Amino acid sequence: VALKCMLNFNVPPVKNSIGEPVWKVLIYDRFGQDIISPLLSVKELRDMGITLHLLLHSDRDAIPDVPAVYFVMPTEENIDRICQDLRNQLYESYYLNFISAISRSKLEDIASAAIGANAVTQVAKVFDQYLNFITLEDDMFVLCNQNKELVSYRAINRPDITDTEMETIMDTIVDSLFCFFVTLGGIPIIRCSRGTAAEMVAVKLDKKLRENLRDARNSLFTGDTLGAGQFSFQRPLLVLVDRNIDLATPLHHTWTYQALVHDVLDFHLNRVNLEESTGTESSQAGARPKKKNKKSYDLTASDKFWQKHKGSPFPEVAESVQQELESYRAQEDEVKRLKSIMGIEGEDEGAISMLSDNTAKLTSAVSSLPELLEKKRLIDLHTNVATAVLEHIKSRKLDVYFEYEEKIMSKSTLDKSLLDMISDPDAGTPEDKMRLFLIYYISSAQAPSEIDLEQYTKALMDAGCNLAPLSYIKQWKAFTKMASAPASYGNTTPKPLGLFSRVMNTGSQFVMEGVKNLVLKQQNLPVTRILDNLMEMKSNPETDDYRYFDPKMLRGSDSSVPRNKNPFQEAIVFVVGGGNYIEYQNLIDYIKGKQGKHVLYGCSELFNATQFIKQV
């Protein structure tokens, strides 16, 4: 909503307005591009009158009779480039929107450039948009994508980090969270764990919100914006958790569609990139394999199949794609049948009455064509994506890994020794084995004995694993042992429903033989459990000493005692140090069971296990 308002020259767009939109150019930097692309498609931009969208630092031609909307970060080089545009008189008028607040001195630079270029009247509006975060779903956001290594898990947890570096990282995170609450239009009540990076974020965010509220003239939380927020009657709860409370989940193999796509494919800012191998030419011997085609698909909110099934276990997804395909084929056959009847010759009465009857049918068939084509596009898209995921599941035995890890995490009996899993050359990549062992190591109440550990390390080395992550996790475990007991993951295991082959009918294009049909049981991961305690005001040793901040209180008090005793209706969970789709899905499943409650999931970066393991 905020973006659409900005693209409409910062006036809320009027619905059903007659007439053409004002044609304009959109100029953004990489940050702006990342914020807009998951939310607005090129078609939607065009509907809003954006004929051209260009990167700020590309070579742009002058278009003297068109207004330009800028959406950029207030950095030195961006400001210089804007001043240069003013001097070169590129556009008719300039609407400058900064993603996060611009400093006084930089505003003065623009002003003096405008005077120098005699273009003061052309700078129509200058706005701070406070949109420095990326929304991936209606209930999920991530801080940044450009320079994300600056706020990564590794950056926060480096042993040799200096205080000033840490301050900078925390300020970056807080700036984005502040933008998030300005856009939401509400002041949260903040809870966080003590002695972690999350606590530093909480202290700084509390201070920043507090200062903004005190400055009554320029406060961003007063007047009309507050009523517009979704949460006007009750304040949301912000739970800040540190990635270190649970390192097993980001390494876990998963079984739901969205998380699997993120785990095994190249899925980034809601776009998945696939390589399609086209097979080899069979005509002559020694033929070159054809080059791989790269295809990318957007998995967005407008994709109904994705919205419905992104949280479903993979077997269910495969079955649904098949069902969709069959219903599509039936509709297509109906259209073909009608076409053939329309070619009727002869004048006999039967044909004519049939014709008039069919004309009505054909008319409705034709009018449903666009819908049918869209359906076909989605079926093809998900067939390709699901097939690509399935190849990974089969070649790496991911179903076996998933089931085995769930058993480890829920402390149930294992049917096969861990050593066998690691030394089995057919099961998984070296990285899969490493993930499995790290989960075992993190979840075990006491660390394995030196002798066992030596056996495991040897097996891991033989399997070709990189052992660097293990040494990090060892230190981490030794450190957290002093701090607290290990997180528990509930005690449920997935129930296998027997093999797939029985479920899938023979006509299916997904060859699922030998893949286990596992059904998930809802169990709360540590992050969800913490949210549950704080949102429902349950007393629990895990969260009782969480700090409590209320930026609206006059004096900040350092207490763990919440003033508000009522359960919350809305909550935002934010993971400092990075998050993943497994946790997001777990939270969504949890909140489904709670009538009328909402939860949003945010993280400083979104990583899958491969990216995470490289950081530890």
Q: List the single range of 57-66, 283-292, 464-473 with lowest mean pLDDT.
A: 283-292
Question: Would the pLDDT of 40 be above 50?
Answer: yes
Give the long-range contacts of residues 38-44, CB within 8 A, separation 24 or more: 38/134, 38/135, 38/136, 38/269, 38/270, 38/300, 39/3, 39/135, 40/3, 40/4, 41/298, 41/300
**Coil, strand or helix at 20:** coil
Q: What pLDDT is recorded for position 230?
A: 44
pLDDT band at 364 (very low <50, low <70, confident <90, very high): confident
Q: What pLDDT is recorded for position 556?
A: 58
Q: In whole angstroms, how far apart are CA 307 and each of 37, 92, 258, 295, 513?
A: 18, 42, 10, 21, 27
> 448 exposed, middle or buried (CB, 10 Å; 0-12, 13-18, 19+)?
middle
Q: What pLDDT is recorded for position 220?
A: 80
Pick 27 or 480 by higher pLDDT.
27
Q: What pLDDT is recorded for position 363?
A: 76
What's the pLDDT tens digit per position in 574-603? 999 999 999 999 999 999 988 889 999 999
pLDDT band at 498 (very low <50, low <70, confident <90, very high): very low
Contact 154, 146 (CB under 8 A): no
Q: In whole angstroms, how far apart are CA 139 and each of 83, 242, 353, 591?
A: 38, 20, 54, 11
What's the pLDDT tens digit per position in 222-247? 654 443 444 445 789 999 999 998 99
pLDDT band at 367 (very low <50, low <70, confident <90, very high): confident
What's the pLDDT tens digit per position in 500-557? 433 344 345 566 666 777 766 678 889 999 999 999 988 888 888 899 998 888 665 6
Q: What pLDDT is recorded for position 80?
A: 94
Q: What pLDDT is recorded for position 168?
A: 93
Separation between Cα atoms, residue 328 and residue 361, nearest integer Å:
17
Q: What is the pTM of this model?
A: 0.86
Which of 549, 571, 570, 574 has the alpha carbon at shortest distance from 559?
549
What's the pLDDT tens digit per position in 330-363? 888 887 777 777 665 545 555 556 666 777 777 7
Percentage of the chain surpassing pLDDT 90? 48
Q: Could you tell me the domains of the chain?
A: 1-128 (3.40.50.2060), 132-246+525-615 (3.40.50.1910), 398-483 (1.25.40)
What's the pLDDT tens digit per position in 198-226? 999 999 999 999 988 887 677 787 654 44
- Computed over every residue of the chain, the mean pLDDT equals 84
Separation between Cα atoms, residue 349 and residue 250, nearest integer Å:
70
